[in-house]
Amino acid sequence: MKIAFLFPGQGAQFPGMAKDLYEHSAAVRDLFGEASEAAHIDMAALLFDGSEDDLKQTDNTQIAITVANLAARQVLAEFGIRSDLSAGFSLGEYASLVDAGVISVADAIHLTLNRGRIMEEVSRTLDADDERAGMAAAMGLDLPRIEEILAEAEVADAFPSLYNSPVQTVVGGTPRGLRDAADALKEGGVRRMRRLQVSGPFHTPLMTPARERFAEIIAGVTFGDPDHPIYSNVTGGVVGSGEEARGLCLDQLVQTVRWTTEERTLLADGAELLLEVGPGSVLQGLWKAVGKVDDEWPVDRVRTAGTLEEIEAVAKEM
């Protein structure tokens, strides 16, 4: 059976995530210790005792979710479950890079720690008065139509950032940009706009200053060639080399995450079981959403594997 690991990204976090994995595995406790030392933060306290507000701040969220993702991967390995294919949603790509042997765990911690800090700082320069820049999900239309509406309305400072499913595209922007985008999209046929619990307009050209700063960080990290197929948010296809992966990490900051395209590529490449390796079930939900427009889509092929109970259940069925 060809198994794909899917690693969730920002927005999947919740207080208490990975606590059962921490209590179960000495290797996970070592991972938390390594991350705590690198970040100068008590990662166990942040993940287990931090509030929702603490966890949704980008400089905390990115390292926290990365640790939770890698903890789930570690426990899966202890049950003898490893991937044949790897993909990650937004931030989740860094755990997928570890999973495919492209970067080390230490480098993933280093990169996501700095990525989160830089993105948070740049995002705050885009706030206005008491309103924060951020992201909102547009329900009911696919990415090409969203792009058309925003272009026709000449909306400034708001851009498609996440192509989540054929019926949901996330838009990122400044406070004014998000208001203008909401007006144009509702007039264009979007059923509903929902603000997301993230603190910046990620994966849009508004993050160009973050890309420039992060380029200096990522230049010092070794990227090896993947030891098995890994998929890119930017292209929706397979990453060919470590150097390509390095460039795509930078491009991903300012370009739309084409997750729906990535899902179709994974299916075409023979993924028979897809495990959501990390907190929550966001990616399972996005996979099932494709079935709303495609009657032949295998909606039940994704399983969650972010808690000890879920991992044990998957292991029993293997």
CATH of the domain at 141: 3.30.70.250
Q: Say what the pLDDT of residue 52 is.
A: 87
CATH number of the domain that residue 299 is part of: 3.40.366.10
Given 195, 224, 247, the domain boundary residue is 195
Q: Say what the pLDDT of residue 318 is.
A: 83
In this structure, the dihedral spanned by the alpha carbons of residues 101, 106, 109 and 113, taken in order and rounded to 10 degrees, is -130
**Do 164 and 142 contact (CB within 8 A), yes or no?**
no
Question: Are 45 and 121 within one domain?
Answer: yes
Question: Are 119 and 138 within one domain?
Answer: no
Domain count, the chain: 2
Question: Are 9 and 61 within one domain?
Answer: yes
Question: Are 140 and 243 within one domain?
Answer: no
Q: What's the one-letter identity of residue 205?
A: P
Question: Are 299 and 215 within one domain?
Answer: yes
Cβ–Cβ contacts within 10 Å for residue 71, how many? 31
Cα–Cα distance list, 157 to 115, 140, 171, 207 (Å): 22, 22, 10, 11
Q: Say what the pLDDT of residue 129 is.
A: 84
Question: Are 104 and 61 within one domain?
Answer: yes
Q: Say what the pLDDT of residue 189 is.
A: 93
Active-site residue, selected from the candidate residues 90, 96, 123, 161: 90
Question: Are 117 and 169 within one domain?
Answer: no
Q: Say what the pLDDT of residue 56 is.
A: 80
pLDDT tens-place values along the chain, 318 residues long: 999 999 999 888 999 999 999 999 999 999 999 999 988 889 999 999 988 888 887 888 899 999 999 999 999 999 999 999 999 999 999 999 999 999 999 999 999 999 999 999 999 999 998 899 999 999 999 999 999 999 999 999 999 999 999 999 999 999 999 999 999 999 999 989 999 878 899 999 999 999 999 999 999 999 999 999 999 999 999 999 999 999 999 999 999 999 999 999 999 999 999 999 999 999 999 999 999 899 999 999 999 999 999 999 999 988
Question: Are 225 and 113 within one domain?
Answer: yes
Q: Say what the pLDDT of residue 136 is.
A: 96
Q: Report the predicted TM-score, pTM, of the whole model to 2 decimal places.
A: 0.95
Q: Say what the pLDDT of residue 166 is.
A: 92
Q: Measured between alpha carbons, how far apart are the two ends of the chain, in Å?
A: 9
Active-site residue, selected from the candidate residues 83, 161, 203, 232: 203
Q: Which domain holds residue 144?
A: 134-195
Burial 197-212 (b: 16+ CB within 10 A, else e): ebbbbbbbebbebbbe
CA distance 229 to 86: 6
Question: Are 228 and 313 within one domain?
Answer: yes
Structure tokens at 245: 């992966």
Question: Are 59 and 121 within one domain?
Answer: yes
203 is catalytic: yes
90 is catalytic: yes
Q: Say what the pLDDT of residue 58 is.
A: 80
Given 144, 177, 195, the domain boundary residue is 195
Question: Are 170 and 208 within one domain?
Answer: no
Question: Are 168 and 312 within one domain?
Answer: no
